[in-house]
Amino acid sequence: MTSRQVSKKQDARRGGPPQLPPTAWAVLGLLSFPGERTGYELKKWADSSLRFFYWAPAISQIYAELRRLEVLGYVTSSRSGPEEPRTKRRYAITAAGRDALTGWADGTEETGPAVLKHPLVLRVWLGHLADPARLHARVREHVARTERELADVREALGRADGVADWAHPQVALRWAERQHLAELELARAMLADLAELGPPGAAGRHLPHAAGQLPPHITGQLPSGTPTDG
């Protein structure tokens, strides 16, 4: 894409949203509902919504994004008065912040691909180096953890249920519920695949390609004009 095209895209909607990371938009999104919120409230809220499909922010990340958004004029903050037992700083979205957020949420730029980092599958990929029984146990631990998370998703869905204005977050949470159910099915299918390689506890450890055979992932992969590297 040329810089002219980029500029045209950014101009498409009252100047276009500035270049901010999605985490900044996510925090601003939390503030797009009426009312002021403390950083702690935003953190709790993220833990029962954003966490299931995007981001489980540390409280320090929430504050870092709030500072960035305040500098941009997208949020304002105020300290609570002496009538409260403890002083709190509350944040609210500004009109400029709401405009920018809408520009991002409804913009024309492409939605990036999903990023998935699955350490369990990485371990299975290197399963030739692992004890089969231990590998099975890792997968079962993942199943148990996913079941606990599914319960959390369903609790959040229960709280959102019947709130008419909460329609889109409900769609996102239903996606998360199905995603967790799929994750459980995937893990169980992987357990069955691993069991076919030999029962847990069997002497299944061996180094692959002992005869020096090239990994099939590489075979046929390299173009003839492999550039110099290193």
**Where does residue 208 rank: exposed (0-12), middle (13-18), buried (19+ CB within 10 A)?**
exposed
Task: In angstroms, give the least distance from the CB of 52 to a copy of itself.
Answer: 8
- CA 174 and chain centroid, separation: 15
Give the contacts of 218 (CB within 8 A, at least 6 positions apart): none
Say whether residue 21 binds a copy of itself (CB under 8 A): no
Which residue number, 55 or 200, has a Cβ lying nearer to a copy of itself? 55
Task: In angstroms, give the least distance from the CB of 183 to a copy of itself.
Answer: 8
- Applying CB under 8 A, the span of 1-9, 68-76, 112-120 interacting with a copy of itself comes to 112-120
Which residue number, 2 or 229, has a Cβ lying nearer to a copy of itself? 229
How many Cβ atoms from other residues are within 10 Å of residue 36's Cβ?
17
Which residue number, 8 or 159, has a Cβ lying nearer to a copy of itself? 159
83-to-15, 41, 77, 172, 196 alpha-carbon distances in Å: 43, 20, 18, 38, 67
Which residue number, 6 or 163, has a Cβ lying nearer to a copy of itself? 163
In the window 114-173, what residues touch a copy of itself (CB under 8 A)?
114-131, 134, 138, 141-142, 145, 156, 159-161, 163, 165-169, 171-172
Give the contacts of 12 (CB within 8 A, at least 6 positions apart): 107, 108
The three-state secondary structure class of 78 is strand
User: Measured at the alpha carbon of residue 170, what is the angle toward residues 46 and 49, in degrees to the nearest 5?
Assistant: 10
- Applying CB under 8 A, the span of 2-10, 68-76, 211-219 interacting with a copy of itself comes to 211-219
**Where does residue 224 rank: exposed (0-12), middle (13-18), buried (19+ CB within 10 A)?**
exposed
Nearest to 29 by CA among 46, 8, 7, 44: 46
Name the one residue in this structure whose structure tokens are 């809408």: 102
Task: In angstroms, give the least distance from the CB of 3 to a copy of itself.
Answer: 22
In the window 72-111, what residues touch a copy of itself (CB under 8 A)?
77, 79, 86-90, 101-102, 105-106, 108, 110-111
- In the set 197, 199, 201, 202, which binds a copy of itself (CB under 8 A)? 197
Task: In angstroms, give the least distance from the CB of 16 to a copy of itself.
Answer: 15
Per-residue mark of binding to a copy of itself, 24-63 (x: CB under 8 A): -xx--x--xxxx-xxxxx--xx--xxx--xxx---x---x
Task: In angstroms, give the least distance from the CB of 1 to a copy of itself.
Answer: 16
**Where does residue 153 rank: exposed (0-12), middle (13-18), buried (19+ CB within 10 A)?**
buried
User: How many chain residues touch a copy of itself (CB under 8 A)?
Assistant: 109
Say whether residue 68 binds a copy of itself (CB under 8 A): no
